Structure 1
Amino acid sequence: MRTETPIARFWSEFRESRIAVAALVVVVLMIGVAVLAPLIAPQNPYDLANLVLSDARRPPGYVGSSGYTHWLGTDAQGRDLLSAILYGLRISLQMGLVAGAFAFAIGVTLGIAAAYLGGRREAFIMRVIDLQLAFPAILLALVISALLGQGKAQLIAALVAAQYAYFARTAHGAASAERGKDYVEAALSTPLPARQVIWRHILPNCLPPLIVVATVQVANAIALEATLSFLGVGLPVTEPSLGSLIANGFQYMLSGRYWISIYPGLALILLIVAINLVGDQIRDQVNPRLKR
């Protein structure tokens, strides 16, 4: 009799929810079009030499001076809005995934280290993290972005600083529960180095809640990046993310040129909602108390 692997069992439970499967398909498709943006986008919105101001603020379906149809219209700079959304989606996903990965690494390291060390060092690390959690993430990211200036590296640093504490708190709670179990005590009684006990015994059993938090925080990072770009402290205008595209068309909303902001906003909402739906399903599966 063939034994079902944990991954196969997880997928079997996951696909029971049609909404979660549909959300996963949306996420995969959006990642795919973002990666392939240079190949499928009719225009490179970063190439300022190809922009024609006479094509600016044209409605969906307009045939531009370059000869191709702007299916979603153009923005105030004359960029094809479909191309700008594809490239903006690429940047938003890049910022969210990279910032989430760094925040995960830093937060998990601090949380597990605090749980393993214990005593005053644990108290000091967790009080610093609790102090940071007392401030809204958007406020902290806004201040850091304003201090560091515009740019991808600066924006990633602001997103990581605003989010690593959530991973640290989750990792600390999970590691503290695992730290007192018999298998960890047995590992500590052997002459194994501390890093081996942490990486081979504690960390693997802390991953389920951390994966759930990581899924949610990637969506939060994308939303946070869009907010910062909308406020003008994110990426420069030459590298428009979805938040920048929404901000570029905001002043034209009352003049009837709704498409400049509405279509990037719909793409952003669809991406965030899909990621959150996938995260909710994963949370339900890794937490036995939430299984229906």
Structure 2
Amino acid sequence: MTLNPNLRRFFSEFAENKVALVAAIIVLAIVLLALLAPLVAPQDPYDLASLTLRDARRPPGYVGTQGYTHLLGTDAQGRDLLSAILYGLRISLQMGLVAGAIAFALGATIGTTAAYLGGRVEAVLMRVVDLQLSFPAILLAFVLAALLGQGRWPLTAALVAAQYAYFARTAHGAAVAERQKDYVEAALSTPLPGRTVVLRHILPNCMAPLLVVGTVQVASAISLEATLSFLGVGLPPTEPSLGMLISNGFQYMLSGRYWISIYPGVALIVLIIAINLVGDQIRDQLNPRLRR
């Protein structure tokens, strides 16, 4: 089976940027490690029977009571830090992708609907979006997470509420431009229902900018989740989230137990930077004005 010429050209141009290519390899490696975490992690951080406080805050290379070496040390609960980081990356990717996908669908629906209907409906919907964009996303997510409580689904709802407006604004701008084109006007003159016109003619031509925003917002959702967990309003302490791991080790930094916070922090930074570099390259390739 031969690859579509457009996709072949896209991947060829992507591979020309060595920095973006390395970032994509890092992202794929992290995704693979996160998927295989139950198989490659030395310890299951959810298995309370395998945890003991005698192994708490042990330095990297320490041989624990279970008989295996803690390559990155242990945290304050006696969890193997390498295992906790692998499961934490899994949580971060799950939260980022799920929240990003829901925000994508909600924002794209609002933006394209407002552009298609126009008039008062467009004015009301976009004023609500503009009002939300005037608030910092982290502040809105923090307030909602504090009100909804700890847990994956309450945190996902808070992330979606903080991010959908970016997709709505992008979809609206692209849909307004498409709405004024001749082929859309021709489709509107037919008996086709409005939903079909939006889904078949307007939305597909708005996907390029939405995909770019989606890549950036996945990284943003991962960062927001870690920040909220660090502040104590995200995931509960029993979840080995990267933000929670950093928070648990922060109080031990001055006592020399740097590894509890530093290693999860490095993993989080590498993941976010790699995703942003991939998103920048996709933006450059999908926007003809930015192509070199």
Normalised-by-shorter TM-score class: over 0.9
Alignment TM-score, normalising by the size of structure 1: 0.98
Paired residue type of 1:136: P
Structure 2 matches for 1:28-67, cutoff 5 A? 28-67=28-67
Partner of residue 138, structure 1:
138
- Matched with 1:104 is 104
Q: After TM superposition, what 4+ stretches of structure 1 lie above 2 angstroms from structure 2?
A: none
1:199 to 2:199 alignment? yes
Give the corresponding residue for 1:234: 234
Could you give the per-residue CA deviations for residues 38-89 of structure 1, whole angstroms, max 9, x where no partner exists?
0110000111121011111010000001100000000000000000000011
Which blocks of at least 5 consecutive residues in structure 1 are unaligned? none
What is the deviation of 1:202?
0.5
Structure 2 residue aligned with 1:278: 278
Q: TM-score, normalised by structure 2?
A: 0.98
- Identity over aligned pairs, percent: 76
What is the match of residue 82 of structure 1?
A: 82
Q: Give the counterpart letter for 2:67 in structure 1.
A: G
Tell me by how many angstroms 1:4 deviates: 5.6
Question: How far apart in 2 are the matches of 1:227 and 1:125?
Answer: 29
CA distance, structure 2, for counterparts of residue 219 and residue 234 of structure 1: 16
* Deviations 1:240-272 (CA, angstroms, capped at 9, x unpaired): 210000000000111110000000000000000
Separation in structure 2 between the aligned mates of residue 253 and residue 124 of structure 1, nearest angstrom: 49
What CA RMSD, in Å, does the superposition of the two structures yield over aligned residues? 1.0
Alignment of 1:118 with 2:118, yes or no, is: yes
Q: Deviations over 1:166-207 (max 9, x none)?
A: 000000000000000011011111111111111111011100
Unaligned runs of 5+ in 2: none
| Structure 1 residue matching 2:45: 3-state secondary structure | coil
SS in 2 for 1:15: helix
Deviations 1:140-188 (A, max 9, x none): 0000000000011100000000000000000000000000001101111
Tell me the secondary structure at the aligned position of residue 16 of structure 2.
coil
- Output the amino acid matched with 1:171: A
- What letter matches 1:255 in structure 2? S
Q: Give how far 1:3 is off.
A: 9.5
Query: Relative to 1, partners in 2 of residues 1:274 and 1:3: Cα closer, same or farther, differing over 3 Å?
Result: closer
In terms of mean alpha carbon deviation, does 137-146 or 189-198 score higher?
189-198
1:171 corresponds to: 171
Shift of 1:6: 1.3
